[in-house]
Amino acid sequence: MEADSIWVISHGETAWRLLLATAFGGLIGWEREHNNHPAGLRTHILVSVGSALIMLLSIYGFADFMDEDKVRFDPGRIAAQVVSGIGFLGAGTILRQGFTVSGLTTAASLWVVAAIGLATGAGFHFAALLTTILALVSLELLNRVEGWIFKRKRFKMIRLVVDDRSGILGELTTAIGKLGARVRKMQIDDADPVDKQIEIHFTLRLPPELEVTRLLEKVRQVEGVKEVHVD
């Protein structure tokens, strides 16, 4: 195999691509680490640099066989397994509590980092850099915009401890709806087998004229409500 073959890469170029993958994955991992998410800096770096190495292996790892007769070469065949394999790692960051699922964004960031690593390993540096920037904008900037919108639209989170009885959930949502508030998210924790009580978390959108104290008083009037907290 000639040194100037497209199937041969220098040690310097190999190191450069792996270092770029480390940097790109580290930037996204730092954002996840900074915001206390389950998969942080080290996990994202390892996913990115590992994906880059697999892509390098897939393209350049079999150069010695390229001149052999009847050799059919697909440089994307090994790398394609990263796309399906990363799903197992991403699934480990997804948690389900009651009716609430968390960790989906972190799982998606791992999937994106794997793609960034593959692109870097293939020498597609501009796309990898642009994707890293777009991912950071999505994770950090849009998160702040979402928080600002959250405050502007008067969202409130309340936590209730109630008796575990049939119909209480419907009574609570009816009482909240009569005041003009809307339930945007709801989480129900498992029932306490001793006290026979459950904990319900509501994320509510309140109309401008509705006072929080009035909402809490209305909720307390529902039979079976033991505790009401504003988070």
Q: Report the CATH fold assignment for 153-230.
A: Alpha-Beta Plaits (3.30.70)
pLDDT digits (tens, 9 = 90+) for 107-166: 889 999 999 999 999 999 999 999 999 999 888 877 777 666 655 556 788 888 888 888
Place of tokens 């799982």: 107
pLDDT digits (tens, 9 = 90+) for 177-227: 888 888 888 888 776 677 788 888 888 888 878 888 888 888 888 888 888
pTM: 0.63
Q: Using CA atoms, how far apart are residues 54 and 51, in angstroms rounded to an integer? A: 5
* Contact yes or no for 124/164 (Cβ under 8 A): no
Q: Using CA atoms, how far apart are residues 110 and 31, in angstroms rounded to an integer? A: 12
Q: Locate the domains of the chain by residue range.
A: 11-150, 153-230
Would you list the DSSP string of 88-102? HHHHTT-EEETTEEE
